[in-house]
Structure 1
Amino acid sequence: MEHHHHHESHAVTDSLYKIFIVCIALNLLFVFIEAIVGFVYNSLGLLSDAGHNLSDVFSLMLALIAFRLARHPASLHFTYGYKKATILISLLNAVILLVAVGAIVIESVYRLRNATDVSGEAIGWTAGAGIVINGLTTWLLMKDRKADLNVNGAFLHMLMDTLVSVGVVVSGVIISFTDWVWIDSAVSLVIAVIILVSTYRLLKESLFLSLDAVPEGVDMEKLKHDISETSGVAGWHHLHVWAISTTENAATLHVVLGDLSAMERVKTELKEAFRKNGVSHCTIECEQAGNVCKEMECCP
């Protein structure tokens, strides 16, 4: 039996690490400013957008935590290190966001029935600053978004939030010219829907991964096909694929060989097949035809 550990490069350069620190600081500062202006000028749109920006801060921090945990050495008690913690943190973040969305929706419906005066100018200028900050963060992350899934996720999150800030600016302009104060609550509902859509995906993925489901990036049908088509493989069973963290996947496999002399070549080809299908860690056990394990309950 072979234990193959193919470690993909998740090293974070000092420059990228500093970029994340700057992005977190900028967005956290803007969250406080937007929340204060929202309270002062009674704008639910700004308050809900502040909550959305706070989710961006969480997203950036999660990516940063993932980088740190990926570097943490394994121990006798935690043989994979603390990589699984990235999945659990994502699950907690999703639950918190769902609670926030519920609060936004309840308050928005109340405001629609009981409209209050809001300052269109304050909303417009504050959200305009959000476009600048979110746009700058998106630009900073753009260069390295293909280097790591966490970076790409943070990039997409910030890009979406930039578009949301544009929507809030539009509501501020409309209120300034029409006094349609209900637009503020309507925009907050739209923001809540956007957060809900993104949170649902986060909740689904993190919940499934915490239950050791097959990660979305792994095509099991293609992986099965590649294994079956590997020359020298007479059969296979006990294929299991799960996530070690939000960026690394693992698998186990039993293969039946007609000729054990081809074992090393078959292993090499199977490792490549796993790697191409997004699995960086795999444990492969080879068995000779006619001497197959008897536990076939989980076998295809």
Structure 2
Amino acid sequence: MFSAEKQTHDHVFLSASHDENAGRTLWVVALTFVMMVAEIAAGYWTGSMALLADGFHMATHAGALSIAAAAYAFARRNAHNGRFSFGTGKVGDLAGFASALILMLVALGIGVESMIRLFAPTAVAFGEATVIAVVGLLVNIVSALMLSGGHSHVHSHDHPHAHSHGGDNNLRSAYVHVLADALTSVLAIAALLAGRYLGWIWLDSAMGIVGALVIAKWSVGLLQQSANVLLDVTDEHVAEEIREVLERSGDVTITDLHVWRVGPDARAAIISVLAKVEVSADAIRARLRVVHEISHLTIEYRVA
């Protein structure tokens, strides 16, 4: 006997805060772009290579943040497009993965440039560079506060409703980029002040190496998390809960189980069960309503 859901339903697995997060990201893109232009202009004006480098570094972040904003727009525009079997809930994870790769390249570039400058120091206009770095830090703090306000709930349909907090890797990638900028600004300010008042020119390069290592660590974590979603890695927490709910009575045995993420807060599950004759497929579905993370459920049912 085979039983699977037949009712008509959509596959919109965007989080309830999708549009809000998209708006936040667009504002941060605008702020980052303005600051990027200001730093590059100030770099040419003051003759400071430090400012120019940071300005072009910020340009890469503006590009990555633009990818995040474009991903939100694409996911919303194609949310009801039947070409996407499980909706567009994972578009943000794809954007997050791409942004993490960019972040990794940024870390590599900062590290290489810092090593070069460690052995061949260049003159820095400390006063002007410090002022611009402080302004950049303030912009990053404002951007981080805007992005940290994003939170996820769940959109579901006629399946068990989900209420768990999930991870919007698109928003997380934007947040990590802003944090990376803030970190480089803090390290730059510390190095510039030390260079101006203590004569520690080498500290600028040393701080750059430290910043590169921290940014690389963040990017690896984001790569791993977004890749797990893109590769449909099993959500073990939800899978374990499903096993507990179905098998604790002893009248149902799970013979095959697939659980994966299809959106920031949505999980899909395909479950094959061997059940005693008195346990119907509808009863099994009713038991699973307590597993709030499931937003799309398919059951293969056989009688023992």
Please give the range of the TM-score, normalised by the shorter of the 2 chains.
0.7 to 0.9
Matches within 5 A, 1:33-44: 33-37=38-42, 40-43=47-50
2:127 is equivalent to residue 121 of structure 1: yes
Q: State the AA in 2 paired with 1:29.
A: V
* RMSD between aligned residues: 3.3
- The C-alpha deviation readout for 1:230-287, integer Å capped at 9, x for no partner, is x4742012101223245533221112221345432321221432x2xx3422212222
SS of aligned partner of 2:298 = strand
SS of aligned partner of 1:2 = coil
Cross-structure match for 1:258: 276
C-alpha displacement of 1:155: 4.5
Q: Partners of 2:114 and 2:63 in 1: how far apart?
A: 23
Matches within 5 A, 1:237-252: 237-252=255-270
Unaligned runs of 5+ in 1: 290-300
C-alpha displacement of 1:139: 2.5
Q: State the AA in 1 paired with 2:112.
A: I
Unaligned runs of 5+ in 2: 154-165
* 8 Å contact kept, 1:24–1:61: no
- The C-alpha deviation readout for 1:201-224, integer Å capped at 9, x for no partner, is 1222233333221258x4544443
> In the superposition, relative to structure 1, how do residues 279 and 168 fare at CA in structure 2: closer, same or farther (>3 Å)?
farther
> In the superposition, relative to structure 1, how do residues 246 and 210 fare at CA in structure 2: closer, same or farther (>3 Å)?
same
Length, aligned pairs only = 283
C-alpha displacement of 1:19: 3.3
TM-score normalised to the size of structure 1? Answer: 0.78
Cross-structure match for 2:68: 62
Select the structure with the greater relative contact order (CA < 8 A; seq sep ≥ 6).
2
> In the superposition, relative to structure 1, how do residues 52 and 195 fare at CA in structure 2: closer, same or farther (>3 Å)?
farther
Q: State the AA in 1 paired with 2:50.
A: S
> In the superposition, relative to structure 1, how do residues 223 and 143 fare at CA in structure 2: closer, same or farther (>3 Å)?
same
* 8 Å contact kept, 1:105–1:192: yes
Q: Partners of 1:62 and 1:180 in 2: how far apart?
A: 38
Q: Partners of 2:112 and 2:176 in 1: how far apart?
A: 27
Cross-structure match for 1:267: 285
Matches within 5 A, 1:1-300: 1-3=3-5, 10-12=15-17, 17-37=22-42, 40-43=47-50, 47=53, 51=57, 54-55=60-61, 58-59=64-65, 61-62=67-68, 65-66=71-72, 68-70=74-76, 72-145=78-151, 147=153, 149-150=167-168, 153=172, 154-155=174-175, 158-159=178-179, 161-215=181-235, 218=237, 220-229=239-248, 231=249, 233-273=251-291, 275=292, 278-289=293-304
Q: Partners of 1:182 and 1:10 in 2: how far apart?
A: 47
> In the superposition, relative to structure 1, how do residues 260 and 157 fare at CA in structure 2: closer, same or farther (>3 Å)?
farther
Q: State the AA in 1 paired with 2:135.
A: A
Q: State the AA in 2 paired with 1:243.
A: R
Between stretches 175-184 and 59-68, larger displacement belongs to 59-68
